[in-house]
Amino acid sequence: MMQKLSREDLFSLEKYAEIRDEFRQQVLDHKRHRRIALGTNAALYFEDRLTMQYQVQEMLRIEKIFEAEGIMEELDAYNPLIPDGTNWKATFMVEFPDIEERRQMLGSLVGVEDNVYMQVDGFERIYAIADEDLERSDETKTSAVHFMRFELPAVEIDALKGGASLAAGIDHENYLVEINPVSESIRESLLGDLN
């Protein structure tokens, strides 16, 4: 199981300032194998301990937080996005660069967050459990950002460890896409989230 972050895992603001460029590059290299483009206008960004440490460090830096209580608030906000060993956790983003087109598309993609899936070869689709922290959509539009959890049964984890391929997709009436299979580098990276 992936360890949650504690205060002891974090760099002080001073230390982080020294190593920030190097740490940022390490995280960017890591993230390259944790993004699945779902067509041209949506993507899943899979989170883990390293991506969340980077988020926390950046928040502490931007907000200049160095007191224990403030640090704990950041950890409490981001630790839930670290996988628990039987799941993947991801940030799902609807990405339309043009503001007007994005507004229009978010209106036509109501419920899209419930139609995002991962699929281990030979098994049923695993649909995302979306936005457990707060509701991000209403009946007129969806949000451009959703937080998702994909819960995997042990038999599917074993199949992945045994080499089964992995697919991902969206089956919303206004946005249909399937990536099958996802790249081996992404499959390998996501396998590291499962114990």
Q: What is the mean pLDDT of each run of 10 residues along the chain (195 residues)?
A: 88 95 96 96 96 95 92 92 95 92 93 96 97 74 92 97 97 96 97 92
Nearest-5° angle of CA 88, CA 90, CA 95?
150
What is the reported pLDDT for 121? Answer: 97
The values of phi and psi at residue 184, to 5°, are -65, -35
Could you give the CA distance from residue 44 to residue 42 in angstroms, rounded to a whole number? Answer: 7
What is the reported pLDDT for 105? Answer: 92
C-alpha torsion 38→151→114→148, nearest 10:
-70
What is the reported pLDDT for 138? Answer: 75
SS3 69: helix
Hey, which residues does 148 pair with through a beta bridge? 90, 130
The values of phi and psi at residue 12, to 5°, are -65, 160
Domain ranges of the chain: 1-32+49-82, 84-195
Q: Is the overall model pTM greater than 0.85, yes or no?
A: yes
Nearest Cα to Cα of residue 85 among 165, 36, 151, 132: 151
Q: Is 174 left (phi over 0), alpha (psi -120 to 50) or beta?
A: alpha
Q: Is 117 left (phi over 0), alpha (psi -120 to 50) or beta?
A: beta
Helix, strand, coil share (%) of the chain residues, nearest 5: 40, 25, 35
What is the reported pLDDT for 1? Answer: 63
What is the reported pLDDT for 166? Answer: 98
What is the reported pLDDT for 169? Answer: 98
What is the reported pLDDT for 28? Answer: 96
What is the reported pLDDT for 131? Answer: 81
